[in-house]
Structure 1
Amino acid sequence: MATLYHGKMAAIYDAMYQTFVDYDEEYAFYNSFIKENNCKTILEIGSGTGNLAKRFKESQQDYKGLDYSESMIAIARERNKDCTFIQGDMRDFNLDKQVDAIIITGRSTSYLTTNEDMDETFASLFNNITDEGIIVFDFIDANRFIPYINENQKIIHQARHEGINYIRESHWETTTADNFMVEWQAKYYTNINGVKNLIADDFSTVRVFTLNEMQLFLYLNNFEIIKTIDRKTYAYDTYVIVAKKKSK
């Protein structure tokens, strides 16, 4: 797994995504599944800078966040002083007590680049949810995303937060040599009085999935699917899956 969003990248990410994502809507979306399945305790993987955490805690829900980036967690803790955040890896974590719901947000599944990563993650999820618990996660749909980026080699996103204009210029390169992998390079700028100033470069290798692939991973790792949602986000066509442990 790549080293993600450390140092100043965590703050830049946080600022830009305040514009990209409607966190009230995001909270309502995930919380609907939590309520439908009577889940009382929640773990969010990919909790980032704590934007959803804030909303779970405001609703007095029993929430914990887990993220790979210490820099992201530092921002989350400052934003949510009464909330528990764990620095950890979704492929290998052990909670003190199983939870009723584990949600993986922000397309964090994209950083599971090998089949071994996938199996280890689902094993960790299986071990850390209660028998009646659920997992909810999103992933980028390869069948729609790969044609899109092949036709749009440069993708520009703009955001404004606290009076500052930000620009992200993304470049994508696809390969099928090892799963459906995408090399992502991005440059981040501020735009002050029409002048662009480079503030950061970012590079990641990410994976996108077909729906059939993900269904098979779940089957082989002892999960059964409750619901599949075709969901459009600010930049990606995604699927969201709700699943539970297979009945004994």
Structure 2
Amino acid sequence: MANLYNGKMAAIYDAMYQTFIDYEKEFNFYNNLIQGYQCKTVLEIGSGTGNLSQRFLATNTTYFGLDYSESMLAIAQEQNKKGIFLHGDMRDFKLEQPVDTILITGRSTSYLITNEDLHNTFQSIYKNLNKEGILIFDFIDANRFIPFTKDNSAILHEAPFEDLIYYRSSNWRTTTSETFLLEWSAQYYTFQNNKKEIIADDFSTVRVFTLNEIQLFLYLNKFEIIQTIDRKTYAFDTFVIIARKK
């Protein structure tokens, strides 16, 4: 897994995604699902800089955040003094006590680029869930996203935040690997007084999935799908899966 969003990239991510994502709406979506299944303890994988964390911590839910980026966790902890945040890898982690629900948010499944990554993640989640615990996660739909990138190889996103306007220029290239991998390069910059200032360049290899792939991996890892939601989110067509540990 790449060394995601470390150093100054963590702060850039935090600033830009305030515009990209309506975190209040995002929280209500996930919280309604969690409450609907009467879950009291929650681990969020991909908790990032803590924008959903602060909302969960304001409820009666016992919340933990886990992320691969220490820089993003540092921001999350600074913004949520009472939060419990864990540095870890979703493919291999162990909680002190199992929880009722595990969320993987922000399309973080995209960074599980091999079948082994996906298998190990579901195995780790299975071990850290209570009996009949609930797994909720989203993923980018390959059947819609790959044609989109073919027609839109370069994508520009604009994000006004505080006194700056941030831009991200993204380029996508589909690989010829056995799984649906894309090479994503992005340039981050601001534009002020008719002057463009480059603030970061980023490159990642990411994976998108078909619904059938996900269904099969969950079955092989002893999860029962209880709900599938076709959800349009920022920039991507996604599916949200709710599955129960068998």
Check whether TM > 0.5.
yes
Structure-2-length-normalised TM-score:
0.99
Q: Which amino acid aligns with 1:128?
A: N
Q: Matched residue pairs, number?
A: 246
Q: Which amino acid aligns with 2:139?
A: F
Instruction: Supply the distance in 2 between the matched residues of 1:14 and 1:170 (Cα, whole angstroms).
Output: 18
- Alignment correspondent of 1:77: 77
Q: Secondary structure at the match of 1:109?
A: helix
- Alignment correspondent of 2:233: 233
Instruction: Supply the distance in 1 between the matched residues of 2:197 and 2:156 (Cα, whole angstroms).
Output: 15
Instruction: Supply the distance in 2 between the matched residues of 1:160 and 1:60 (Cα, whole angstroms).
Output: 33
Q: Secondary structure at the match of 1:54?
A: helix
Instruction: Supply the distance in 1 between the matched residues of 2:197 and 2:112 (Cα, whole angstroms).
Output: 32
Q: Which amino acid aligns with 1:109?
A: T
Gapped regions of structure 2 (runs ≥ 5)? none
**1:60 Cα deviation (Å)?**
3.4
Instruction: Supply the distance in 1 between the matched residues of 2:58 and 2:192 (Cα, whole angstroms).
Output: 35
Deviating beyond 3 angstroms after TM superposition, the runs of 4 or more aligned structure 1 residues are none
Instruction: Supply the distance in 2 between the matched residues of 1:242 and 1:89 (Cα, whole angstroms).
Output: 21
- Alignment correspondent of 1:171: 171
Instruction: Supply the distance in 1 between the matched residues of 2:206 and 2:86 (Cα, whole angstroms).
Output: 23
1:54-96 Cα distance to aligned partner (Å, 9 max, x none): 0001123210000000000000000000000000000000000
1:137-178 Cα distance to aligned partner (Å, 9 max, x none): 000000000000011010000001112100000000002323
State the Cα RMSD in Å.
0.7
Alignment of 1:1-248 (within 5 A): 1-246=1-246
Q: Which amino acid aligns with 2:214?
A: M
Structure-1-length-normalised TM-score:
0.98
**1:132 Cα deviation (Å)?**
2.4
Q: Which amino acid aligns with 1:71?
A: S
Identity over aligned pairs, percent: 65
Instruction: Supply the distance in 1 between the matched residues of 2:54 and 2:140 (Cα, whole angstroms).
Output: 25
